[in-house]
A and B are shown apart, each in its own frame.
Chain A
Amino acid sequence: MAIRVQREDFDVGAELAALGAGNHRIGGICSFVGLVRDMNEGAGASEGVSAMTLEHYPGMTEKQLAAIDAEAHRRWPLEASLVVHRHGRLEPGDRIVLVATASPHREAAFEACHFLIDWLKTKAPFWKVEESAEGAARWVEARESDDAAAARWAAVDGKEG
């Protein structure tokens, strides 16, 4: 129910503590934190990644994230949800994205969190360009495995818990 796209880092503990605070119907919170890795998965590429820059489409990014979030709430009985996605230049170890879901039931929280990150990766308009230690820049290509992960949810409906 909350979407944020920002350059700044976020505090995972503070975000989770605030999510649905005071709502005692919530029985569990599930979270996913995406980090910048120091290696890429380009075809045949073995060079390290010294930094990456995330570009996004202001306006459409928020619109698409809100649509994905609404879909998660349609499928699962969520009491609260949060997506925070960073943009700009990030280095290995930096946090990129936080997805958190809160539900009366753990299965719904787990599944909705998994769904949100899978759909986010294929539907939210972000693009990564990686820098190698030598200073070469390389646009990260979309991965078929991400498409497959997102497609897995196309036919799966939420459980009632």
Chain B
Amino acid sequence: MKLLYFAWLRQKIGVGEETIDLPADIADARGLVTWLKGRGEGYEIAFRDLDAIKLAVNQDYADLDAPVKAGDEVAFFPPVTGG
């Protein structure tokens, strides 16, 4: 699974992109976030306030209940501010 982080999430986690082997017992984005928070202090800080975070699965907006599987591209970022 390819993971992408943008804006301040990227800064707190320390990388913008990484590839992981998704643990077999993780089926949705919420489970993925819980697992990521256990990977280090940067992740724990980045994912502390889940209301402040948006996510996308395979480049479409999704929510924490969205199913995720090996091979997906999952991105986490703050609310967008373009235009």
Contact = CB atoms under 8 A, between A and B. Distances in A.
A85 interface: yes
Interface string A134-161: 0000011110001000000000000000
Contacts of B78: 127, 139, 141-142
Contacts, number: 70
A126 interface: yes
A126 B59 contact: no
A122 B82 CA distance: 7
Interface residues of B, number: 16
Interface in B31-70: 56, 59-61
B75 A60 contact: yes
B76 to A, nearest CB: 11
21 contacts: A55-B6, A55-B7, A56-B82, A57-B56, A57-B59, A57-B77, A59-B59, A60-B59, A60-B60, A63-B59, A85-B82, A120-B83, A121-B82, A121-B83, A122-B80, A123-B80, A127-B78, A127-B80, A128-B82, A139-B78, A146-B83
A43 B17 CA distance: 31
Contact of A126 (B8, B56, B75, B80): B80
Question: Could you tell me the dominant secondary structure of chain A's interface residues?
Answer: mixed
A139 to B, nearest CB: 5
A117 to B, nearest CB: 6
Given A57-B75, A57-B77, A60-B56, A125 B83 contact: no
Interface of A: 34, 54-57, 59-60, 63-64, 85, 96-97, 117, 120-129, 139-142, 146
Interface string B1-40: 0001011100000000000000000000000000000000
Nearest to B75: A57
A23 to B, nearest CB: 27
Contacts of A97: 82-83
A86 B7 CA distance: 16
Nearest to B7: A127
